[in-house]
Protein backbone atom coordinates (compact mmCIF):
# COMPACT_ATOMS: atom_id res chain seq x y z
CA UNK A 1 0.00 0.00 0.00
CA UNK A 2 1.30 3.49 -0.83
CA UNK A 3 2.02 6.09 1.86
CA UNK A 4 -0.97 8.05 0.63
CA UNK A 5 -3.20 5.02 0.99
CA UNK A 6 -1.94 4.39 4.51
CA UNK A 7 -2.74 7.95 5.50
CA UNK A 8 -6.29 7.63 4.18
CA UNK A 9 -6.80 4.62 6.41
CA UNK A 10 -5.89 6.48 9.59
CA UNK A 11 -9.42 6.66 10.94
CA UNK A 12 -11.01 10.08 11.17
CA UNK A 13 -7.75 11.89 10.50
CA UNK A 14 -6.83 15.42 11.54
CA UNK A 15 -9.59 17.15 9.60
CA UNK A 16 -12.28 15.23 11.46
CA UNK A 17 -10.59 15.59 14.84
CA UNK A 18 -10.22 19.35 14.37
CA UNK A 19 -13.65 19.84 12.90
CA UNK A 20 -12.40 21.54 9.73
CA UNK A 21 -9.38 21.79 7.48
CA UNK A 22 -6.59 23.76 9.14
CA UNK A 23 -5.05 24.68 5.82
CA UNK A 24 -8.30 26.18 4.59
CA UNK A 25 -8.57 28.24 7.72
CA UNK A 26 -4.98 29.38 7.38
CA UNK A 27 -5.73 30.80 3.94
CA UNK A 28 -8.22 33.19 5.55
CA UNK A 29 -6.09 33.90 8.61
CA UNK A 30 -6.64 36.70 11.10
CA UNK A 31 -4.39 39.71 11.45
CA UNK A 32 -1.12 39.19 13.35
CA UNK A 33 -1.40 39.56 17.10
CA UNK A 34 -4.95 38.27 17.48
CA UNK A 35 -5.42 35.46 20.01
CA UNK A 36 -9.05 34.61 19.33
CA UNK A 37 -9.58 30.95 20.20
CA UNK A 38 -9.98 28.59 17.21
CA UNK A 39 -8.36 31.14 14.86
CA UNK A 40 -5.09 31.32 12.96
CA UNK A 41 -2.65 33.98 14.06
CA UNK A 42 1.07 34.64 14.36
CA UNK A 43 2.95 34.22 17.63
CA UNK A 44 6.52 34.81 18.85
CA UNK A 45 8.46 31.59 18.47
CA UNK A 46 9.48 31.75 22.13
CA UNK A 47 5.87 31.73 23.27
CA UNK A 48 5.44 28.09 22.20
CA UNK A 49 6.37 25.10 24.36
CA UNK A 50 6.47 21.37 23.52
CA UNK A 51 3.26 19.48 24.14
CA UNK A 52 2.68 17.39 27.25
CA UNK A 53 1.29 14.58 25.11
CA UNK A 54 3.80 14.59 22.27
CA UNK A 55 4.36 10.88 21.52
CA UNK A 56 7.52 11.59 19.56
CA UNK A 57 10.70 11.66 21.63
CA UNK A 58 13.38 11.64 18.92
CA UNK A 59 14.08 14.35 16.36
CA UNK A 60 16.73 13.61 13.74
CA UNK A 61 19.11 16.56 13.44
CA UNK A 62 19.71 16.16 9.70
CA UNK A 63 15.96 16.08 9.00
CA UNK A 64 15.37 19.21 11.08
CA UNK A 65 18.14 21.03 9.19
CA UNK A 66 16.61 20.02 5.85
CA UNK A 67 13.20 21.23 7.00
CA UNK A 68 14.75 24.48 8.25
CA UNK A 69 16.30 25.07 4.82
CA UNK A 70 12.88 24.61 3.22
CA UNK A 71 11.25 26.94 5.73
CA UNK A 72 13.81 29.66 4.95
CA UNK A 73 12.71 29.55 1.32
CA UNK A 74 9.00 28.77 1.56
CA UNK A 75 8.06 29.70 5.11
CA UNK A 76 5.78 27.53 7.26
CA UNK A 77 2.91 26.55 4.96
CA UNK A 78 0.77 24.77 7.56
CA UNK A 79 0.30 26.52 10.92
CA UNK A 80 1.32 24.86 14.17
CA UNK A 81 -1.66 23.57 16.14
CA UNK A 82 -1.64 24.85 19.73
CA UNK A 83 -3.79 25.22 22.80
CA UNK A 84 -3.46 27.34 25.93
CA UNK A 85 -0.77 25.93 28.20
CA UNK A 86 -2.21 24.54 31.43
CA UNK A 87 1.14 25.01 33.16
CA UNK A 88 1.96 28.55 31.98
CA UNK A 89 -1.02 30.64 30.80
CA UNK A 90 1.36 32.97 28.94
CA UNK A 91 2.53 30.15 26.67
CA UNK A 92 1.03 28.14 23.84
CA UNK A 93 1.33 24.35 24.15
CA UNK A 94 2.10 22.62 20.85
CA UNK A 95 -0.38 19.88 19.96
CA UNK A 96 0.82 19.16 16.42
CA UNK A 97 3.80 20.61 14.56
CA UNK A 98 6.73 20.43 16.97
CA UNK A 99 9.10 19.52 14.11
CA UNK A 100 8.11 22.70 12.27
CA UNK A 101 8.63 24.71 15.46
CA UNK A 102 12.09 23.23 16.07
CA UNK A 103 13.07 23.72 12.42
CA UNK A 104 11.81 27.31 12.55
CA UNK A 105 14.20 27.97 15.43
CA UNK A 106 17.08 26.60 13.36
CA UNK A 107 15.94 28.86 10.51
CA UNK A 108 16.04 31.76 13.02
CA UNK A 109 12.41 32.76 12.54
CA UNK A 110 11.07 35.17 15.14
CA UNK A 111 7.39 34.38 14.59
CA UNK A 112 5.42 31.33 13.49
CA UNK A 113 1.82 30.86 12.33
CA UNK A 114 -0.33 29.06 14.88
CA UNK A 115 -3.83 27.59 14.84
CA UNK A 116 -5.41 27.96 18.28
CA UNK A 117 -7.85 25.35 19.53
CA UNK A 118 -9.66 24.64 22.79
CA UNK A 119 -8.72 21.01 23.36
CA UNK A 120 -9.03 18.57 26.23
CA UNK A 121 -6.05 16.45 27.25
CA UNK A 122 -7.49 13.37 25.59
CA UNK A 123 -8.18 15.23 22.34
CA UNK A 124 -4.68 16.73 22.39
CA UNK A 125 -3.12 13.28 22.65
CA UNK A 126 -5.40 11.83 19.96
CA UNK A 127 -4.50 14.60 17.52
CA UNK A 128 -0.77 14.42 18.29
CA UNK A 129 -0.79 10.66 17.73
CA UNK A 130 -2.80 10.82 14.49
CA UNK A 131 -0.68 13.65 13.09
CA UNK A 132 2.55 11.77 13.69
CA UNK A 133 1.16 8.52 12.28
CA UNK A 134 -0.08 10.29 9.16
CA UNK A 135 3.38 11.72 8.58
CA UNK A 136 5.06 8.39 9.47
CA UNK A 137 7.13 10.26 12.05
CA UNK A 138 6.85 7.86 14.98
CA UNK A 139 9.16 5.00 15.83
CA UNK A 140 7.45 1.71 16.80
CA UNK A 141 8.06 2.33 20.51
CA UNK A 142 6.79 5.92 20.34
CA UNK A 143 3.65 4.63 18.65
CA UNK A 144 3.27 1.94 21.31
CA UNK A 145 3.69 4.42 24.17
CA UNK A 146 1.08 6.68 22.61
CA UNK A 147 -1.39 3.79 22.51
CA UNK A 148 -0.57 2.82 26.07
CA UNK A 149 -1.04 6.38 27.30
CA UNK A 150 -4.49 6.66 25.72
CA UNK A 151 -5.48 3.39 27.36
CA UNK A 152 -4.02 4.04 30.81
CA UNK A 153 -4.76 7.75 31.25
CA UNK A 154 -7.99 8.08 29.30
CA UNK A 155 -9.52 4.59 29.49
CA UNK A 156 -9.53 4.03 25.73
CA UNK A 157 -10.04 0.43 24.66
CA UNK A 158 -7.95 -1.24 21.99
CA UNK A 159 -11.06 -1.42 19.80
CA UNK A 160 -11.70 2.32 20.18
CA UNK A 161 -8.09 3.12 19.34
CA UNK A 162 -8.33 0.96 16.25
CA UNK A 163 -11.42 2.83 15.06
CA UNK A 164 -9.79 6.20 15.76
CA UNK A 165 -6.55 5.42 13.97
CA UNK A 166 -7.76 3.11 11.24
CA UNK A 167 -5.79 0.23 12.74
CA UNK A 168 -6.90 -3.27 13.71
CA UNK A 169 -7.30 -4.16 17.37
CA UNK A 170 -4.59 -6.81 16.96
CA UNK A 171 -2.17 -4.19 15.57
CA UNK A 172 -2.73 -1.97 18.61
CA UNK A 173 -2.33 -4.95 20.97
CA UNK A 174 0.87 -6.16 19.30
CA UNK A 175 2.42 -2.69 19.31
CA UNK A 176 1.72 -2.27 23.04
CA UNK A 177 3.28 -5.68 23.71
CA UNK A 178 6.58 -4.33 22.36
CA UNK A 179 6.88 -2.32 25.57
CA UNK A 180 7.22 -5.58 27.53
CA UNK A 181 10.47 -6.47 25.75
CA UNK A 182 13.80 -6.09 27.60
CA UNK A 183 15.51 -2.71 27.42
CA UNK A 184 18.30 -4.19 25.30
CA UNK A 185 15.77 -5.17 22.63
CA UNK A 186 14.00 -1.82 22.82
CA UNK A 187 17.35 -0.07 22.31
CA UNK A 188 17.84 -2.02 19.08
CA UNK A 189 14.35 -0.97 17.94
CA UNK A 190 15.05 2.68 18.77
CA UNK A 191 18.35 2.64 16.86
CA UNK A 192 16.66 1.07 13.83
CA UNK A 193 18.74 -2.11 14.00
CA UNK A 194 15.57 -4.09 14.69
CA UNK A 195 12.19 -3.45 13.05
CA UNK A 196 8.81 -3.76 14.74
CA UNK A 197 8.23 -6.95 12.73
CA UNK A 198 11.45 -8.48 14.05
CA UNK A 199 10.56 -7.45 17.60
CA UNK A 200 7.05 -8.94 17.40
CA UNK A 201 8.58 -12.26 16.36
CA UNK A 202 10.58 -12.27 19.60
CA UNK A 203 7.70 -11.48 21.96
CA UNK A 204 7.10 -15.09 22.99
CA UNK A 205 10.74 -16.14 22.98
CA UNK A 206 12.26 -17.42 26.21
CA UNK A 207 15.30 -15.14 25.86
CA UNK A 208 14.42 -12.25 23.51
CA UNK A 209 17.50 -10.22 24.47
CA UNK A 210 20.01 -12.82 23.33
CA UNK A 211 17.97 -13.76 20.28
CA UNK A 212 17.72 -10.11 19.20
CA UNK A 213 21.51 -9.79 19.21
CA UNK A 214 21.83 -12.88 17.04
CA UNK A 215 19.12 -11.66 14.66
CA UNK A 216 20.98 -8.38 14.13
CA UNK A 217 24.37 -10.10 13.86
CA UNK A 218 23.12 -12.59 11.26
CA UNK A 219 21.03 -10.04 9.36
CA UNK A 220 17.89 -12.19 9.48
CA UNK A 221 14.68 -10.97 7.85
CA UNK A 222 11.34 -11.08 9.70
CA UNK A 223 10.32 -14.51 8.38
CA UNK A 224 13.69 -15.98 9.31
CA UNK A 225 13.43 -14.37 12.74
CA UNK A 226 10.01 -15.95 13.31
CA UNK A 227 11.39 -19.40 12.46
CA UNK A 228 14.50 -18.79 14.57
CA UNK A 229 12.43 -17.71 17.60
CA UNK A 230 10.12 -20.73 17.34
CA UNK A 231 13.04 -23.15 17.25
CA UNK A 232 14.70 -21.42 20.20
CA UNK A 233 11.44 -21.52 22.16
CA UNK A 234 10.90 -25.25 21.56
CA UNK A 235 14.47 -26.04 22.58
CA UNK A 236 14.15 -24.12 25.84
CA UNK A 237 10.92 -25.91 26.75
CA UNK A 238 12.51 -29.34 26.17
CA UNK A 239 15.23 -28.74 28.73
CA UNK A 240 13.76 -26.65 31.56
CA UNK A 241 15.74 -25.94 34.70
CA UNK A 242 14.89 -28.47 37.39
CA UNK A 243 15.19 -27.77 41.08
CA UNK A 244 15.51 -31.12 42.88
CA UNK A 245 14.47 -31.32 46.52
CA UNK A 246 17.33 -32.33 48.80
CA UNK A 247 17.03 -34.48 51.93
CA UNK A 248 16.72 -31.46 54.22
CA UNK A 249 13.81 -30.07 52.21
CA UNK A 250 11.98 -33.41 52.24
CA UNK A 251 12.53 -33.71 55.99
CA UNK A 252 11.16 -30.20 56.51
CA UNK A 253 8.07 -31.04 54.46
CA UNK A 254 7.41 -34.08 56.69
CA UNK A 255 7.96 -32.07 59.87
CA UNK A 256 5.49 -29.32 58.88
CA UNK A 257 2.97 -31.86 57.60
CA UNK A 258 3.11 -33.76 60.92
CA UNK A 259 2.74 -30.54 62.91
CA UNK A 260 -0.28 -29.33 60.94
CA UNK A 261 -1.80 -32.69 60.21
CA UNK A 262 -2.04 -31.67 56.57
CA UNK A 263 -0.12 -32.33 53.37
CA UNK A 264 2.59 -29.70 52.82
CA UNK A 265 4.85 -29.18 49.79
CA UNK A 266 7.84 -26.89 49.39
CA UNK A 267 8.62 -25.76 45.84
CA UNK A 268 11.71 -23.93 44.63
CA UNK A 269 11.73 -21.39 41.76
CA UNK A 270 14.54 -19.31 40.20
CA UNK A 271 13.39 -16.27 42.20
CA UNK A 272 12.69 -17.99 45.53
CA UNK A 273 10.04 -20.53 46.37
CA UNK A 274 6.64 -21.24 47.88
CA UNK A 275 5.06 -23.44 50.54
CA UNK A 276 1.76 -25.12 49.65
CA UNK A 277 -0.61 -26.35 52.36
CA UNK A 278 -3.36 -28.66 51.11
CA UNK A 279 -6.61 -28.83 53.10
CA UNK A 280 -9.90 -30.67 52.60
CA UNK A 281 -12.33 -28.69 54.74
CA UNK A 282 -12.83 -25.12 55.90
CA UNK A 283 -12.34 -26.29 59.47
CA UNK A 284 -8.81 -27.39 58.60
CA UNK A 285 -8.14 -24.00 57.00
CA UNK A 286 -9.45 -22.20 60.09
CA UNK A 287 -7.13 -24.27 62.27
CA UNK A 288 -4.11 -23.32 60.16
CA UNK A 289 -5.06 -19.63 60.26
CA UNK A 290 -5.52 -19.83 64.02
CA UNK A 291 -2.01 -21.21 64.47
CA UNK A 292 -0.53 -18.51 62.24
CA UNK A 293 -2.25 -15.76 64.22
CA UNK A 294 -0.77 -17.09 67.47
CA UNK A 295 2.72 -16.67 66.04
Answer whether residue 234 shows pLDDT above 80.
no
pLDDT band, residue 20 (cuts 50/70/90): very low
Tens-place pLDDT, residues 254-275: 777 777 777 788 877 656 778 8
Is CATH 3.10.20.30 correct for 3-136? no
What 3-state class would DSSP assign to 225?
Answer: helix
What 3-state class would DSSP assign to 267?
Answer: strand
Angstrom distance (rounded) from CA 148 to CA 109:
35
Where exactly are the structural domains of the chain?
3-136, 181-238, 247-294
Q: Let me know if 177 is exposed, middle or buried by CB neighbors in 10 A (0-12, 13-18, 19+).
A: middle
pTM of the model: 0.55
Range with top average pLDDT, 18-27, 31-40, 75-84: 75-84
Angstrom distance (rounded) from CA 119 to CA 48:
16
pLDDT of residue 11: 45
Answer whether residue 276 shows pLDDT above 80.
yes
Strands 263-269 vs 272-278: parallel, antiparallel or unpaired: antiparallel
Q: Tell me the CA end-to-end span of the chain in Å, nearest whole number.
A: 68
pLDDT of residue 295: 61
Catalytic residue among 98, 126, 142, 143: 98
Angstrom distance (rounded) from CA 16 to CA 194:
34
Number of C-alpha atoms within 13 angstroms, CB side, residue 272? 2
pLDDT of residue 184: 93
pLDDT of residue 154: 76
Answer whether residue 25 shows pLDDT above 70.
no
Angstrom distance (rounded) from CA 81 to CA 42:
12
What 3-state class would DSSP assign to 168?
Answer: coil
Angstrom distance (rounded) from CA 145 to CA 138:
10
Least confident of 21-25, 28-32, 158-162, 222-226: 28-32
Active site includes 98?
yes
Quick one: CA dihedral 96, 40, 45, 47, positive or negative? negative
Amino acid sequence: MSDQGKRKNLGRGLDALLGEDALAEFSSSQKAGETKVTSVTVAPIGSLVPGRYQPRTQFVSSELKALAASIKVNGIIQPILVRNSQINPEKWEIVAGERRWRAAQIAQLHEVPILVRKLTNIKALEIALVENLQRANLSPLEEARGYEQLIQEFSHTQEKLGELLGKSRSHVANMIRLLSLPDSVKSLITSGALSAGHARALLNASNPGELAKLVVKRGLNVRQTETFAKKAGVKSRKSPNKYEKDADTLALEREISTSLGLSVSIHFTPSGGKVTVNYDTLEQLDEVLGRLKKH
